[in-house]
Amino acid sequence: MAKKITAPFTAETVKDLRAGDSVLISGTIYTGRDLAHKRLTDSLKAGEKLPFDLDGAVIYYVGPSPAKPGKVIGSAGPTTSYRMDAYSPLLMEKGLRGMIGKGNRTQPVLDAMKQHGAVYFAAVGGAAALIARTIKAAKVIAYDDLGPEAVRELKVEDFPAIVINDMYGGDLYEQGVAKYKKD
Amino acid sequence: MKEIQFDTIREAVAKLCIDANCLLGDDVVQAFKDGLAVEESPAGKDILNQLLDNEQIARKEMMPICQDTGWAVVWVKMGSGVRVQGGELYDAIQQGVAKGYTDGYLRKSIVEDPLRRKNTGNNTPAIIYADIVPGDGLEITVQPKGGGSENMSEVKMLSAADGAEGIKKFVVDRVARSKANPCPPVIIGVGIGGTFEKCAMLAKHSLLREIGSVHPDPFYAAMEKELLERVNKLGIGPQGLGGRVTALAVFIEAFPCHIATMPCAVNINCHAARHQSITL
């Protein structure tokens, strides 16, 4: 039974989530991947205002394909998260509470999640047309010059994801492989 | 001499780009269904079902199966009896890729320089591998190849002393280290032999094979079967959440080799094995 949660996240939302929970996310999430993360963290370090409020924010690691006429967005599945690992701890320190991507995160990210109270979800890689149906509005709000890598504000309704890492150290990738590995 | 028009090639390539990105092969769809029958993990089954749903949506809407519409890797077999009229072959292919990626609302994922990284705006250049073959046909295959799976790929310069077990250990270990990153269930392309770069090309080319096909050399057919079994014991499963279906297929291409070397390349492909061909 999937949990329905709303983004931006309150601290309580994050505290309630455990590795393995299936969720349906509704509300506002922001897109960002490699180059956007560099710009966002450079701005933070320079004391500049960010294009969106980080407090409770959820970032989805995605570079969507262009929207066909009459559609809100193109195909929009997750990109691999480890490439954003260098930037995530600082964003969490400044208020980021949720990250959606795919693939495992490194220890500094997991530590920051515990320390600041954040959660990491996986969306299904390659189910990009299916996921796009849950995105009801999309607007570029920063770094338009980056094309697919621009920061977009997405309004989502029942966006499906699964908790990989909760704020308590739970790790679904580790649990899953341990259960099904054969020697 | 058979004349083929520049425009014909350009239009054909544009259509191949769109079709390859939106229409998944029957063999892959069947592999998802076969995977469902053996997968024990509930999360794994759910994911395979989502991938089947996704395939239907992409086909119906003619939208990309995956947002990473990748490099346009283009394989050409040009008959020696073919003459391209109205322009150069490579220009026709590049223009076709630009057209397909633009008209098809595919993602523009190529930057002009690896360090300065300005987007080229039209997903060119394509990467073209052309062979001159006997005859008067022009066979073109477009193979979109995404970045996530490329990042999990590797070439290793083994020695003859490492033997078949050395190859197998390298392949299985590469998949194990990849974990969820390349979007399992994966398709594993293995090149053995050749030079350093030829080996990698063999691995990429092997990914064009139909899932369920058997290697014509029984020696490598047996190795493909064993590798698939060993990889599926890793427990990584669909999207790395744990399960029995970590890989859908292993394909090997071997080539003559230098006496001092035994290169091995593993080109990982995600579950969206995308390729479409035409013969003009």
Q: Quick: pLDDT tens for B237-277.
A: 999 999 999 999 999 999 999 999 999 999 999 999 999 99
Contact B143/B74 with Cβ under 8 angstroms? yes
* Rounded alpha-carbon distances, angstroms, from residue A117 to A15, A47, A168: 7, 23, 9
Phi, psi of B69 (to 5 degrees): -85, 5
Closest-approach residue (CA) in chain B for A133 = B57
ipTM, 2 dp: 0.92
pLDDT of residue B119: 93
Q: What is the mean pLDDT of chain A?
A: 96
Taking the Cβ of residue B23 and every Cβ of chain A, the question of whether any pair is shorter than 8 Å is answered with: no
Closest-CA distance, B139 to chain A, in angstroms, reads 28
Interface test with B, best of A72, A180, A182 (most B CBs within 10 A): A180
CB distance A21 to A147 below 8 Å:
no
Mean pLDDT of B99-105: 98
What percent of chain B is modeled with pLDDT above 90?
A: 100
Bond into B125 cis (ω within 30): yes
Least confident of A145-154, B54-63, B94-103: A145-154
Residue pair A96/A57 in contact (Cβ under 8 Å)? The answer is yes
Residues of A with a catalytic annotation lie at: 37
Over residues A148-175, mean pLDDT = 96
SS3 (DSSP) at A44: helix
Please name the residue that has the structure tokens 């005859």: B135
**Candidates A71, A75, A80; nearest CB to B64:** A75
Among candidates B63, B235, B272 on the partner chain, residue whose Cβ is nearest the Cβ of A68 = B63
Cβ distance B64 to A180 less than 8 Å, yes or no, reads no
Question: What is the average per-residue pLDDT within A144-153?
Answer: 93
> What rounded mean pLDDT belongs to chain B?
97
Residues B164-210: pLDDT tens digits?
999 999 999 999 999 999 999 999 999 999 999 999 999 999 999 99
Residue of chain A whose alpha carbon sits nearest to that of B42? A176
Residue in B53, B181, B234 closest to A181 by CB: B234
Instruction: Give the pLDDT confidence score for residue A183 in this predicted structure.
Output: 83
Q: What distance in Å separates residue B124's CA from the closest CA in chain A?
A: 15
DSSP state of A171: B
Q: Which chain B residue has its CA at the smallest distance from A78's CA?
A: B67
Distance from chain centroid for Cα B81: 29
Report B:190-219 residues touching A (Cβ under 8 A).
none
Per-residue 3-state assignment (H helix, E strand, C coil) for chain B? CEEEEHHHHHHHHHHHHHHHHHCCCHHHHHHHHHHHHHCCCHHHHHHHHHHHHHHHHHHHHCCCCCCCCCEEEEEEEEECCEEEECCCHHHHHHHHHHHHHHHCCCCCCCECCCCCCCECCCCCCCEEEEEEECCCCEEEEEEEECHHHHCCCEEEEECHHHHHHHHHHHHHHHHHHHCCCCCCCEEEEEEECCCHHHHHHHHHHHCCCCCCCCCCCHHHHHHHHHHHHHHCCCCCCHHHCCCCCCEEEEEEEECCCCCCCEEEEEEEECCCCCCEEEEC
Whole-number pLDDT of residue B4: 98
**pLDDT tens profile A75-128:** 999 999 999 999 999 999 999 999 999 999 999 999 999 999 999 999 999 999
Which of B148, B84, B96 is CA-nearest to residue B123?
Answer: B96
What is the least distance, in Å, from the CA of A65 to any CA of chain B?
4
Report strand pairing: B276-279 vs B186-192: unpaired
DSSP state of A168: T
Residues of B in contact with A80 (CB under 8 A): 148, 151, 181
**Closest in B43, B109, B117 to A148, CB measured:** B109
Q: Which residue of A has its CA nearest to B41?
A: A180
* pLDDT tens-place string over residues A21-60: 999 999 999 999 999 999 999 999 999 999 999 999 999 9
Tens of pLDDT, residue by residue over B45-75, are 999 999 999 999 999 999 999 999 999 999 9
pLDDT at A1: 82
CB contact under 8 A, B105 and A67: yes
Distance (Å) from the C-alpha of residue B9 to the closest C-alpha of chain A?
A: 25
What confidence score (pLDDT) does residue B133 get?
A: 98
Q: State the alpha helices, DSSP H only, in chain A.
A: 11-16, 34-45, 88-93, 107-116, 128-132, 172-180
